[in-house]
Amino acid sequence: MMARIAVVHKVTWTPEEWLRLEALGEVRYCPSLPSSEEELLARIDDAQIVISATIVPFTSPVIERSPALRLLSIFSTGYNNVDLSAARRCGVTVTNVPGYSAHSVAEHAWAMVLHLAKRLGQADAHSRGLLNRAAFQAMAQRPILVNVARGDIVDWEALLEALESGHLRGVGLDVLWDEPPDWSSPGIKRLLAAENLLLSPHCGMHTDAAFRALTKQCIDNIEAFLKGNPTNVVSG
């Protein structure tokens, strides 16, 4: 009997990638985000293998109420939204895709650095006279901070204080302490008031090469699991 595979949210795959997955089992696909745990459970149903990015939380109740589930193939590097204790308790193997976007995220980080170092936002706002006397006088050795990893690695209160005091020359953030952010919160309002700030919506990995590598490794993980030799197994 072929494995039952559920892809529980939208993915952007090529026809060749779909054909490769379909060769491994009977595939069900839901091209939208589940709106609740109950909807997620309905999408999982009797699937033995589930493909999902960490944007969809796999809590203890979800895992415990999916008795057929044997492999959760995480379609990302991060697995912070998966209850690994529940997975171990229920005999569910969890795999991820480490390192697939290293080059893309590095490029994104340097794009942010160059944008902030060259003050392109201010140049765009002010089409003349950017390099005036005041600008030259301000070109001291102040650092630029770029975070394209995880929001929690930054002490956000310390960051806000450094921005407001001018200690930091610029800040580029592809990740925040809460995602999606609460735009009405005091911390976000303070952040948005900063003069030399660049935000992007957790998209440093969004290149075609990275997505193709991500999809290939995700399906590789399923293939290896079905052969009895799981790879990239998450332990925590």
Domain map (residue ranges) of the chain: 3-100+208-226, 102-199
User: Residue 158, Cα to own-chain centre: how many angstroms?
Assistant: 24
**Tens digits of per-residue pLDDT, 200-219?**
888 777 788 888 999 999 99
Q: For residue range 186-199, list pLDDT tens digits in order.
A: 888 988 888 788 88
Among the residue ranges 7-16, 172-181, 218-227, the one predicted with the least confidence is 172-181
First and final C-alpha spacing in the chain: 32
Q: How confident is the model at residue 175 (pLDDT cuts 50, 70, 90)?
A: confident
Going by the DSSP 8-state scheme, the letter that residue 115 receives in this structure is: H
Strand spans (E) along the chain: 3-7, 25-29, 49-52, 71-74, 93-95, 144-147, 170-173, 197-199
| CATH architecture designation of domain 102-199 | 3-Layer(aba) Sandwich (3.40)
Output phi, psi for 124, to 5 deg: -65, -35
- The answer to whether domain 3-100+208-226 and domain 102-199 are alike in fold is yes
pLDDT recorded at residue 135: 46
pLDDT tens digits, one per residue of 8-51: 999 989 999 999 999 999 999 999 999 999 999 999 999 999 99
Q: Where are the beta strands (DSSP E) in 136-207?
A: 144-147, 170-173, 197-199
pTM for this entry: 0.65
Q: Please, are residues 74 and 63 in contact by the beta-carbon 8 Å criterion?
A: no
For the chain, the average pLDDT equals 86
Mean pLDDT check: name the lowest of 6-15, 24-33, 66-75, 161-170: 161-170
Q: Are 65 and 41 in contact (CB under 8 A)?
A: yes
Q: If one looks up domain 3-100+208-226 in CATH, what number appears?
A: 3.40.50.720
Whether pLDDT at 76 is above 70: yes
